[in-house]
Amino acid sequence: MELVFATHNPNKVKEIQQLLPEHIHLISLHDLGCTQAIPETANTLQGNARLKADFVTKTYHRPCFADDTGLLVDSLKGAPGIFSARYAGPENNANANMDKLLLNLKNQKERSAYFKTVIALNINNETVYFEGEVHGKIITEKKGIKGFGYDPVFQPDGYDKTFAQLPLEIKNKISHRGKAFSKLIAYLNYVTV
């Protein structure tokens, strides 16, 4: 089965490719020749995931899934949330986003946070949603070189390392994205196109 992953992020493609069963061939937006940014104008993670999946399905007429992820920090009333990728500005700069987050949490004792991923799958003329969450805290400085986004400042509950310090195999098992995608994969094992 060929399935489009509606992302321009090669890190996401790399992560997900390791999770997919052999019978699913993943196609990225790059593979389709789609270079344009797909607008994320909804006010929820689910809405943004659906917008991206719908764009690809309508434009390229293929089964597609898209995800949207947010980092929700309790003491910041859920910020950065749906604005996580552009928290420090429209250029989507991970270091600037982390710097702004650390600055906004300076002198804060309450640093609990969680990542949430929502996947919208367009297949067989319907949309199915899958979600995953991982809870943890924001540490006071960046640690680690693996991963992407906020991984160097997010330490999941039960671990003494950040996502950027953990091996990808462990991160995939416990992460928000890994949990959501495991639900997607379980669904794809029983669906035919």
| Residue 66 within any structural domain of the chain | yes
pLDDT in tens, the chain (193 residues): 889 999 887 777 777 777 777 778 888 999 899 988 888 899 999 999 999 999 999 999 999 999 999 999 999 999 999 999 999 998 889 999 999 999 999 999 999 999 999 999 999 999 999 999 999 999 999 999 988 899 999 999 999 999 999 998 899 889 998 899 889 988 988 776 5
SS3 content of the chain, % helix, strand, coil (to 5): 35, 25, 40
| Residue 193 within any structural domain of the chain | no
* Interhelix angle 176-188/10-17, nearest 10 degrees: 60
Q: Which structural domain range is residue 62 located in?
A: 2-188
Residue type, 59: T
Judge whether 92 and 69 are in contact, CB under 8 Å: no
- Look up the CATH number of the domain holding residue 111: 3.90.950.10
| Residue 35 within any structural domain of the chain | yes
54 labelled catalytic:
no
Q: Which of 31, 68, 74, 160 is catalytic?
A: 68
| Residue 79 within any structural domain of the chain | yes
- pLDDT tens per residue, range 115-127: 999 999 999 999 9
Question: How many separate domains does the chain show?
Answer: 1
- pLDDT tens per residue, range 75-116: 999 999 999 999 999 888 999 999 999 999 999 999 999 999
Q: 159 CB contacts (<8 Å, ≥6 apart)?
A: 136, 166, 174
| Residue 180 within any structural domain of the chain | yes
Rounded percentage of the chain residues whose pLDDT exceeds 90 = 70
pTM value is 0.89
